[in-house]
Amino acid sequence: MLGIDLHTHTTASDGSLTPLELIALAKENNTQMLAITDHDTVSGYLSVKEAVTGIRLISGVEISTVWHGIGIHMVGLNFAPEHLSIQQLLSQQATARQQRAEIILHKLNKVGVAIRLDELHEHAQTNHIGRPHIARLMVETGYVSSVDKAFKKYLGTGKVGDVKSGWVSLTEAAQAVRESGGVAVIAHPNHYKMTRSKLLRMIDDFVTVGGQGIEVISGKQHRDISTKFAHIANDKGLYASVGSDFHRYFPYAANVGLLPELPESVTPVWTLFD
């Protein structure tokens, strides 16, 4: 096991553990270096960064971006969270997220799912509302029997609640992270429903605008996938990152900090951290 995890979520976005609970679990799992990468917010990270001991906490965020109409998640690591470039980008994203929640609810209302915005805010307990919050409320109110069904029927890729409008471009996100002194990383590259050639084109564009890394190990993926992305990382001159993408404990998902070693051929992204 590696002891490094550079992609995790807390209650500041759609995770189920508070930042302190996440850190406690990471320590229990012998994690030495951790990044909290909540969706479009650094509030979870900021709330604990002064208090943490016994683990190296790296600043992080997972930014929802669009590239040619396709939703791409980009992880920013080791940036100065107070820098104006990242602050402006994240405040733009926060507004987009709030407007998007309203748009999603409006679309759901039209297909008979009558959930109100005030209910959703009450339920989510965060301003950074994502589809998982909506999915959980749909389960609670009996519209679907599980979160999985909510995504399959209403919220997943191509469904009525899959709204990408308002997100920044991949370029804007990569530039803001770079300007803030950080490293921009393509998150979970195996998750995008793209042909290989399109994926490689996206990566080329990402490199052109200052992107430096890619998650070679993401969650509990097959070794062959890691090997594939190690090759791509080397071909494109990208640093390799690793992340569980932990949201909550789930037997079939990766636990915090418990990830395999990177293939030897790649250069780890943390060699860029001082």
Count of CB atoms within 10 A of residue 165's CB?
Answer: 9
Distances (CA, A) of 160 to 18, 58, 68, 106, 167: 31, 36, 19, 10, 17
**Positive/negative CA dihedral, 96, 182, 75, 131:** negative
Residue 166 found at the interface with ligand AMP (CB under 6 A): no
**139 or 147, CB closer to ligand AMP?**
147
Instruction: In angstroms, give the least distance from the CB of 257 to Mn ion.
Output: 15
Residue 245 found at the interface with Mn ion (CB under 5 A): yes
Residue 256 and residue 34 in contact, taking contact as beta carbons nearer than 8 Å: yes
Binding test (CB under 6 A) with ligand AMP, winner from 11, 22, 35, 131: 131
Q: Which does 48 bind (CB under 5 to 8 A by kind): Mn ion, ligand AMP, none?
A: none
Residue 175 found at the interface with ligand AMP (CB under 6 A): no
Residue 160 found at the interface with ligand AMP (CB under 6 A): no
Residue 14 found at the interface with Mn ion (CB under 5 A): yes
Residue 130 found at the interface with ligand AMP (CB under 6 A): yes
Residue 156 found at the interface with ligand AMP (CB under 6 A): yes
Instruction: In angstroms, give the least distance from the CB of 128 to ligand AMP.
Output: 8
Instruction: In angstroms, give the least distance from the CB of 148 to ligand AMP.
Output: 5
Strand, helix or coil at 57?
Answer: strand
Positions of E strands within the chain? 4-5, 33-35, 56-58, 60-67, 70-77, 168-169, 183-186, 213-218, 239-243
Instruction: In angstroms, give the least distance from the CB of 263 to ligand AMP.
Output: 26
Count of CB atoms within 10 A of residue 73's CB?
Answer: 23
**148 or 204, CB closer to ligand AMP?**
148
Please give the structure tokens belonging to residue 258: 């418990």
Beta-bridge partners for 184: 76
Amino acid at 195: T
Instruction: In angstroms, give the least distance from the CB of 175 to ligand AMP.
Output: 21
Q: Which residues bind ligand AMP (CB under 6 A)?
A: 14, 39, 64, 130-132, 147-148, 151, 156, 247
Q: Which residues bind Mn ion (CB under 5 A)?
A: 14, 62, 73, 187, 245
